[in-house]
Amino acid sequence: MIIRNAKVFREDGTFVRRDVYIAGDRFVDSPEGEVIDGSGCYAIPGLVDVHFHGCVGYDFCDGTPEAISAMASYEAKSGVTAICPATMTYPEDKLATICETAKSYEAGAGEAALVGINMEGPFISMAKKGAQNGAFLHQPDTAMFRRLQAASGGLVKLLDIAPEEPGAFETISDLKDEVTISIAHTAADYETACEAFHRGARHVTHLYNAMPPFSHRAPGVIGAAFDAPHCHVELITDGVHIHPSVVRATFQLFGDDRVVLISDSMMATGLPDGEYSLGGQAVTVTGNRATLHDGTIAGSATNLLDCLRTAVHKMGVPLGSAVKAATVNPAKSIGIYGAYGSIDAGKFANLVLLGSDLHLEKVILRGEILN
């Protein structure tokens, strides 16, 4: 397959008009096969969402192959070709079932690849639990994580920890070489967060949400993340979670090499407004706003491509920076950049063609035209 005349994304955030070659399920250096005219389009890598919970009526924590398949199909059709869905806070036995189901899942035709699991709970703070279920919180526990990792067959790529919780520093030190540690749902101050980064944490979950604010005398987790150059920070650009000015400032503060766009989507994504659930708690969805009945924001109802469009069209983020934050950076953050996240020979041939206004023209998934 040859894609001609498109403006092709490069890792540095620029675009160049060139041909893209695909053979089988990989990008290659030599032309062969049918020709697709990409005139007037941007060619970008398939998006990588490292933090979402569900869509089209399903949740990753349903713990069934049917749920993963339905989610993976919707995501692929939406331009998200690699997924690392997130758990909610549940008891160990339920989390183990979710992990075992994920371990046995194999992507079918038209389904995004399941490249990891984001374990968002249960090692988080009651004070900043957000929409997580406080009844099942657990102190950070190395042995418990390793049992769940074994159940997943090594699929857990992100582990969320509130560093102020008892045992957190020890757990971070124990696991820093086994999984990407993300600071999350935390009341930690600047000094505590700095120590977590020093011990090996290198990621922050949905920056600004479920953590103390960034202020001039108490910079908190956000300031500590800025001072940890090895750290990636997640950003939800659905237009609900973060003000556009703060999104622009974050890209300026951290640079577009460190920001990871996420959707944090829940099961209502792709469906009409109504009543849904997240982590066993009732959620009301109106437009792209999802809230618990007490008003707490409960994930989003927006897929990652829509978040990318919102970042560009409504928040003033340069297109190249937004694409980098939805492809290159998330792939690097969970250690899969060798196979995903860019249009380079040898990687899986996942490519999205966007029109000049960023509408979706075509998805190529592992070398096959999806739509």
Active site residues: 264
Bridge partners, 102 (sequence order): none
Task: Return the H-helix or E-strand segment holding 91.
Answer: none
Residues 266, 321: Cα–Cα separation, whole Å: 25
* 217 contact partners, CB below 8 Å, separation of at least 6: none
- Residue of 185, 188, 246 whose CA lies nearest to 210: 185
How buried is 310 (Cβ within 10 angstroms: 0-12 exposed, 13-18 middle, 19+ buried)?
buried
Task: Return the H-helix or E-strand segment holding 164.
Answer: none
Residues 61, 53: Cα–Cα separation, whole Å: 8
DSSP letters spanning 329-348 = HHHHHTT-TTTSSS--TTSB
Residues 244, 178: Cα–Cα separation, whole Å: 35
